[in-house]
Structure 1
Amino acid sequence: MHLPFWLTTALLFPVLLYQGKRTRRTTPRLPEASGSPCGQFGEGEPARRVLVIGESTAAGVGVDNHEQGLASQLARQIHERTGQTIAWHTFGVNGIRLGALNQALAKAELPEADLVILSMGVNDTTGFTPRYRFRQQLLELRDLLGTRYPAPLVLLSVPPMHLFTALPAPLRHVIGWRARLLDNLYKTLASEAPARFSYAHYPVISDPELLASDGYHPGEKGYRYIAEALAALP
């Protein structure tokens, strides 16, 4: 238990409860992206295959179709940088937490992939998933992926929610604090088990033009911005 966080949350609970309910009531709920969740850039047999799994960012919330989303734009960036044929696939569910995602993935028919990225953490942050449980679920996910995906699972950092202007203060700061606590678990796992996990920093989106109409999710430019940062990683 992180005592300072829980003491702060308890003291501010009436305000946080009011702001949380009001935010849910007033924030537009955007749909998941439509269209095919897979594709490729280049001709012939892919040299690399990208798979993005997770919550709303993997589901393409904030754009009209998956070709504008994170997996597609990342594949495009890698294709343009290398000239290789790059395939992409995305599997995401808006509003899902990690435990439920693991259950969904266990039943899903997933493609071959050389690079698997987990985009997760926002719903576990707002749902106050205990850190020990979140860590255990990450380990369960890595076991679930098994030897089929031998490369380290890339943990895309939990977004910096203290910068989400759609959230009022102090709710924004408390949720941001919680997000950083979960993000620290990513860093710890990547440090302790580099053969199983790696950590990728989520680029800060400070330009409102990169956001969707809800002021919360990335828009097409925002997903491109994140993809460019990921494609530049070694």
Structure 2
Amino acid sequence: MRLRLLGDSIAAGVGSTSREDTLGPLLAARLRAAGHHVDLQVHAVPGARSADLKAQVRAAIAGGVDLAVIVIGANDLTRFVPAHVGAQQLHDAVADLRGAGAAVVVSTAPDLSVVAHVPPALRDVVSAVSRDYAKAQLQAVIRAGGVVAHVERAVTSKFAADPSLFAADRFHPSSAGYRVIAEALAPAVEAVLQA
């Protein structure tokens, strides 16, 4: 199975002290344990926004893809990309991958209110904006035939309560944080393979 990771720094594994503790290898290991032969490639680029998915999708399709996992949205939020713009770009990426025969699982924008750099007075606003962005993404992914993994529901409270889930930069996940995210992503990935 050709597993491809697309998206931003979280999909690329920035912040982890070990490559094996990043999303691609963690998901691949879980799928191998379930009996799948997995060929993993990571096309994700740190700093990527939804607009950057087009090039990543082209690379994934060119090399062959059976299952694409996309993690995108944090940089759209920090760069104030309008939700309808980023959602349409994500829709197009998912639609292109589906057109190439790939199953697609998307982890939408995280709730950035849990990041330490966000002033407490702004956390409610940042949380609301993050949720609205993720909702627009969810609708776009479903329209394009993809599946949304509701990672933020499972991990936001954990990241808010446990600073060790963040790397030293207090923005990206640590190795422990990536294990939490992978655990939340895995059920959706496994479900699309059984469909």
TM-score, with length taken from structure 2 = 0.81
1:208 partner amino acid? P
RMSD, matched Cα: 2.3
> Radius of gyration: which is bigger?
1
1:129 partner amino acid? V
**Counterpart residue number, 1:21:** none
Gaps of 5+ in 1: 1-47
SS of equivalent to 1:52: strand
Residue in structure 1 matching 2:116, options 156, 165, 168:
165
Distance 1:145 1:201, change over 3 A: same
2:15 partner amino acid? G
How many Å separate the matches in 2 of 1:137 and 1:186? 9
How many Å separate the matches in 2 of 1:144 and 1:192? 12
Q: How does 1:71-86 map to 2 (within 5 A)?
A: 71-80=24-33, 82-86=34-38
Does the CA-based 8 Å contact 2:105-2:149 persist in structure 1? yes
TM-superposed CA distance for 1:68, in Å, is: 2.5
TM-superposed CA distance for 1:137, in Å, is: 0.9
2:147 partner amino acid? S
Q: How does 1:108-147 map to 2 (within 5 A)?
A: 110-145=62-97, 147=99
Q: How does 1:1-234 map to 2 (within 5 A)?
A: 48-80=1-33, 82-103=34-55, 105-106=57-58, 110-145=62-97, 147-151=99-103, 153-193=104-144, 196-202=145-151, 203-204=154-155, 205=159, 206-233=161-188, 234=191
SS of equivalent to 1:92: coil
SS of equivalent to 2:173: coil
How many Å separate the matches in 2 of 1:88 and 1:183? 26
Distance 1:108 1:226, change over 3 A: closer
How many Å separate the matches in 1 of 2:177 and 2:119? 21
Distance 1:187 1:105, change over 3 A: closer
Does the CA-based 8 Å contact 1:125-1:175 persist in structure 2? no
1:232 partner amino acid? P
Cα deviation digits, residues 187-214 of structure 1 (max 9, x gap): 2234445xx1111011313322222112
1:181 partner amino acid? D
Distance 1:128 1:155, change over 3 A: same
SS of equivalent to 1:174: helix
Distance 1:126 1:175, change over 3 A: farther
More displaced stretch, 209-218 vs 104-113? 104-113
**Counterpart residue number, 1:27:** none
Does the CA-based 8 Å contact 1:165-1:215 persist in structure 2? yes
Distance 1:110 1:208, change over 3 A: farther
How many Å separate the matches in 2 of 1:130 and 1:183? 12
SS of equivalent to 1:232: helix
Provide the identity percentage: 32
SS of equivalent to 2:170: coil
Distance 1:55 1:200, change over 3 A: same
